[in-house]
Amino acid sequence: MDPPWLKGGSGYCAKVIGFFDNNIDKRKGDERLSASIEFEEELEHRGFSGKYGFMLGRWEGQLWETSGTVHVHISNVPINNSSDITKENSIWAESHAHYERVDS
């Protein structure tokens, strides 16, 4: 599988810059947290460019761990809360993205 947003590569590095409440009603506790991220480099996907983004858990009951599978969105501004997300400043990129914590 070669997702278009990876452009033939194996992945991207990003730093978690915070967590915010994603306001998904069916979720509670940590399930409601999305991770705001900053990529090491600006990404381009389907004509949209951005250096920021956020990761959203894929299902109810999913908790943040040192690795997992999430939705990834690319953004051209830092996302600090769910009201910051608009069609103009972000784009969905992947539904089965793998994340893994690494020590820098």
What's the pLDDT tens digit per position in 22-54? 988 888 888 889 999 999 999 999 999 999 999
Look up residue 84 and give its DSSP letter: G
Res. 59: pLDDT tops 90: no
pLDDT of residue 1: 66
Query: What is the domain count for the chain?
Result: 1
Q: For residue 37, with 0-12 CB atoms within 10 Å meaning exposed, 13-18 middle and 19 or more buried, which class applies?
A: buried
What is the domain range of residue 77?
4-100
pTM: 0.92
Alpha helices in the chain (DSSP H): none
